[in-house]
Amino acid sequence: MYLGIDLGTGSVKALLIDDGGKVVAEGTRVYPVSSPVPGYAETAPADWWAQTVAAVRACCEGRGSEVRGIGLSGQAHGLVVLGADAKPLRPAILWADQRATAEMDAVLALPETVRRQLANPVVSGMAGLSLLWLRANEPETYAATRRILSPKDWLRFILTGETATEPADASMTLLYDVGADRWTTDFLGSLSIDPSILAPVVESDAVAGRLTAAAAAELGLAPGTPVAAGLSDTASCLFGMGQVKPGSTILQVGSGIQIMSVVEAIEPRVQPFYNSYRGIGRSLYSMAALQNGGTVFEWARMVLGASWPEMYRAGFEENEGNGGIVFLPYVTGERAPLLDPNASAAWAYMRLGCTRNQLIRSVFEGVALAVRDSWDAMQGIGVSADRILLTGGGSTDPRWQQMLADILEMPLVPAHDLGNATIGAAYLGGIAAGHWRGPDDIPFPDELGAPVDPQPFEGLDELLARFRATYRGLRHI
């Protein structure tokens, strides 16, 4: 048996697979994300550990002695700071945190030759910016910091007593030269960050430590069990779905939306709209991260007083269309492709006769148009695909799938049962145990849904042009 643990933003998932890669058992536990100041997002690492223990025990009940390898995945960008006693000095600052705005300005003022090495946009929530915020606002904490880790890497430290990171999480810190595949000495030197606080980088599928007796006792597992270095959650999702070759592309629809594509190479740019990361085997992928997905539908449903059945009925069955209305879905600002934290949601071009059904229809269209906007931008940097795998809990309705395919003008292949970040972590556990030598040995599942082929979408070109023009017009106000 091989155990995968995925440390998410609000919950931890544990999953057990057998020698054939079949899922045997699962366990999930939740923990809070606190916001002591508006815009902050933090979690106490102790909460992660307590709920990881509970999730693993629920998953492995009666089978703990059979677990031969452990793999990890987890939320990216977050910052855990450890002191001389290797204990957290404060709650972890998460990817959703928006406090480091002044630090963004400081980094954006650096020479382009330094910033280009990062190959990622300078946006709040990245560990490097959070670290600079600590230096400016909590100098005593910063001075006491002896090691910084991502959330998943901190969890591995508790499991094994060893500190390390791997290329996927490292390249998401804004402290890594993604092209050269190493910590960026130029950037660190420009901002006077001591490189000794950074963890050594090991391969994602390498054994990065073994389960300590203390951790094993709490989890109900065998001490000495090998633990793989792991992957960030998006990289682990691609790996869990067996998408490891260039051209593999996934559209993941949840609270946010990600378009992820494995690429041959990256061309580092200054302040790109997309993220460039390392994955399994130090492969490369590009990702357009949209902040506004399922969150938008939940917000619109609340504002319009509609149940979920009413939302889908109004959006797809009442046949009232959008009545000429354009909806911008930027309720939380937007990353890809706008890089505009001040972007806002708006309904535009409403007239006296517009109806609630038309407003609801425009919400579905607006989110789909935002996805198309990012996909066009991704193609503009050389990303290509002949089909896109569709996954995520916000993409299961066939009518919504068809709209996405129509507006993207791309075939979508539902792959909801193909894999996920947690099973990707479990596969890494199998590699750590020596059961599989590498990705080529893993029996990735291949259960795909029937392709959703795009159908003509009336007035798409005009609607897309109005959508983009509406954002451009409002941006200047």
How does pLDDT run across 147-174, given as a tens digit for each residue? 999 999 999 999 999 999 999 999 999 9
List CB contacts of 55: < 8 A, sequence separation 6 or more.
Answer: 5, 12, 13, 14, 27, 28, 29
3-state secondary structure the chain: CEEEEEECCCEEEEEEECCCCCEEEEEEEECCCECCCCCCCEECHHHHHHHHHHHHHHHCCCCHHHCCEEEEEECCCCEEEECCCCCECCCEECCCCCCCHHHHHHHHCCCHHHHHCCCCCCCCCCHHHHHHHHHHHCHHHHHHCCEEECHHHHHHHHHHCCCCECHHHHCCCCCEECCCCEECHHHHHHCCCCHHHCCCECCCCCEEEECCHHHHHHHCCCCCCEEECCEEHHHHHHHHCCCCCCCCEEEEECCCEEEEEEECCCCCCCCCCCEEEECHHHCEEEEEEECCCHHHHHHHHHHHCCCHHHHHHHHHCCCCCCCCCEEEECECEECCCCCECCCCEEEECCCCCCCHHHHHHHHHHHHHHHHHHHHHHHHHCCCCCCCEEEECHHHCCHHHHHHHHHHHCCCEEECCCCCCHHHHHHHHHHHHCCCCCCHHHCCCCCCCCCCECCCCCCCHHHHHHHHHHHHHHHHCC
Distance CA 369, CA 329 (A): 9
Distance CA 79, CA 13 (A): 20
Q: Quick one: pLDDT band at residue 457, thresholds 50, 70, 90?
A: very high
The tokens describing 77, both together, are: 């960008």
Query: What is the dotted CATH code of the domain comprising 243-417+447-477?
Result: 3.30.420.40
Q: Which has the minimum average pLDDT: 329-333, 364-368, 454-458?
A: 329-333
Backbone angles phi, psi at 58, to 5 degrees: -65, -40
- Contact criterion met (CB below 8 Å) for 277 and 119: no
Q: Per-residue pLDDT averaged across 342-357, rounded? A: 94
| Cis check: omega of the bond before 451, within 30 degrees of 0 | no
> Is it the case that residue 193 has pLDDT exceeding 90?
yes
Q: Per-residue pLDDT averaged across 409-414, rounded? A: 95
Distance CA 426, CA 228 (A): 9
Report the pLDDT value the prediction gives residue 417, as an integer from 0 to 100: 66
Q: How many CA atoms lie within 13 A of 217 on its CB side?
A: 3
- On average, the pLDDT of the chain sits at 94
Report the pLDDT value the prediction gives residue 380, as an integer from 0 to 100: 93
Query: What is the dotted CATH code of the domain comprising 2-234?
Result: 3.30.420.40
The strand pair at 412-414 and 80-82 is best described as: unpaired
Backbone angles phi, psi at 424, to 5 degrees: -60, -40
Distance CA 351, CA 284 (A): 48
Task: Determine whether 441 is exposed, middle or buried from the number of CB atoms within 10 Å of its CB (0-12, 13-18, 19+).
Answer: exposed
Q: Quick one: pLDDT band at residue 418, thresholds 50, 70, 90?
A: low
Distance CA 410, CA 405 (A): 5
Distance CA 59, CA 27 (A): 5
Q: Per-residue pLDDT averaged across 32-59, rounded? A: 96
The tokens describing 117, both together, are: 């090495």
> Is it the case that residue 245 has pLDDT exceeding 90?
no
pTM of the full structure: 0.90
How does pLDDT run across 101-122, given as a tens digit for each residue? 999 999 999 999 999 999 999 9
> Is it the case that residue 254 has pLDDT exceeding 90?
no
Report the pLDDT value the prediction gives residue 393, as an integer from 0 to 100: 78
Q: Where do the CATH 3.30.420.40 domains begin and end in the chain?
A: 2-234, 243-417+447-477
Report the pLDDT value the prediction gives residue 184, as an integer from 0 to 100: 95
Report the pLDDT value the prediction gives residue 341, as an integer from 0 to 100: 84
How does pLDDT run across 286-327, given as a tens digit for each residue? 999 998 998 899 999 999 999 999 999 999 998 899 999 999
Backbone angles phi, psi at 270, to 5 degrees: -85, 125
> Is it the case that residue 466 has pLDDT exceeding 80?
yes
